[in-house]
Amino acid sequence: MTRTLILLASSLVLLSCNAPQRSSPASTAKDSLASTTEIFQAPDTNELKNDEWGRMVKYGARLIANTSYYIGPEGLVSKNLGNKMNCTNCHLNNGSKAYGLNFFDSHRIYPQFRARENKILSMSERVNNCIERPHNGIPLPLDSKEMVAIVSYIKWLGERYDPKKHEGYGLKSIAYKGLQADPERGEKVYAKHCKSCHQENGEGLMNADKSTYTYPPLWGDKSYQEGSSMHRVLKAAAFIKYNMPNASASADQPVLNDQEALDVAAYINDGRIHPRPKPKHTDYENLKHKPVDYFKGPYLDSFPAPQHAFGPWDEIERAMQELEKSSGK
Ligand code: HEC
Ligand code: HEC
């Protein structure tokens, strides 16, 4: 039970990174949560009836799994994506794996204020963010059948998720306090634990008919854009620690420790050695909302970009908290 509480507390810290305002880790929300929580089990699409809703949700599931086939650069329905990755490459098991970037609580928390755009976004607009950045593509029309299907699937998946009873949503935080990520050390982690699938050149391995990937790319012009969430070292490390290597790591049994996950995340995302597509628009017009690990300035604080990208992050966080206090927030 103590363990459950610790898990819970750490996932809340992570959620707060995602939240519009930098809230302190000593959040009050955790005190009100029930003490017995369990990992959420996502429903099975076989439970769906063969009616309008069931068919729409199932189409959404197919789109998340085979995104490139439907809306990729040579897509059957449209050509919205700029690369041949699928949503499920990051939102593991079609967004249903505990701490694997799942969608358990997503529908409930949208519409939501988003720091980067500095405004409230709907769930559909949030989906388009992933189509634009990790998929380097152009937004789907909000009223397209594909968008409606994706959003229907996300709603259906999380309908029974109750944050008071369940855990496992999103990502699980890592203990980065006092740590710094080192791309050079990360190169060794990559060679030992990642290269066999994601390949020496990091560009992944396509399937036989080249319609998508068996092992998706981690850098290069076919991978996610700079400034995508996966490009942020703290986010990527939290994903990697509890999910990679793909076949063996889980939240209960990580293969890498916190330091190794940070180092390999830094190696993958280091723009000095690994190029990737550039974002089309600049963002974070309100610098107060810029995540601490964002790779590029300007920042409100005076720490240089490499420290933001690779840490240590503690002193930057302290400086930001001081700034917030002094601005009366
Ligand atoms: C390269 C990895 C990657 C790919 C590919 C990707 N995403 Fe994401 N997505 C992320 C990350 C990272 C986040 C941020 C999660 C966070 O902030 O903790 C995210 C967030 C989201 C969210 C918000 C979830 C929430 O609860 O806040 C939605 C919805 C979403 N993605 C949908 C999609 C869809 C649909 C696709 C396919 C069209 C897709 N994503 C493809 C990495 C990816
Ligand atoms: C056994 C093969 C395998 C190994 C080893 C492996 N991965 Fe992966 N990785 C995958 C697969 C497969 C996916 C996509 C998952 C899916 O589609 O279900 C993936 C997805 C990813 C993603 C998100 C998608 C993308 O391309 O950005 C990242 C990031 C990632 N892996 C990083 C790593 C890192 C870092 C390591 C080493 C610590 C690693 N992987 C080791 C197979 C592997």
pLDDT in tens, 122-149: 999 999 999 999 999 999 999 999 999 9
Ligand 1 pocket check for 7: Cβ under 6 Å: no
Per-residue pLDDT, averaged over 190-218, amounts to 97
Q: Which domains does the chain have, with CATH numbers?
A: 37-167 (1.10.760.10), 183-326 (1.10.760.10)
Structure token pair of residue 283: 């963002």
Convert the pLDDT of each residue in 242-257 to its tens digit.
999 998 999 999 999 9
Handedness of CA 250, 269, 19, 141 (dihedral sign): negative
Question: Residue 175: exposed, middle, or buried by beta-carbon count in 10 A (0-12, 13-18, 19+)?
Answer: exposed
Q: What is the pLDDT of residue 214?
A: 98
Give residue 328's pLDDT.
63
In whole angstroms, what is the distance from residue 189 CA to residue 260 CA?
A: 7
Q: Ligand 2 pocket by C-beta < 6 Å: which residues?
A: 88-90, 92, 193-194, 196-198, 215-218, 224, 230, 236, 240, 244-247, 256, 264
Model pLDDT for residues 1-58, shown as the tens digit of each residue: 334 444 444 443 343 333 333 333 333 444 445 468 999 999 999 999 999 999 999 9
This prediction has a pTM of: 0.91
Q: Indicate which atom in ligand 2 lies nearest the CA of residue 255.
A: 38
pLDDT for the residue numbered 1 = 37
Averaged pLDDT for residues 158-187: 97
Mean pLDDT of 199-218: 97
Average pLDDT, the chain: 90
Dist. CA 203 → ligand 2 center (Å):
11
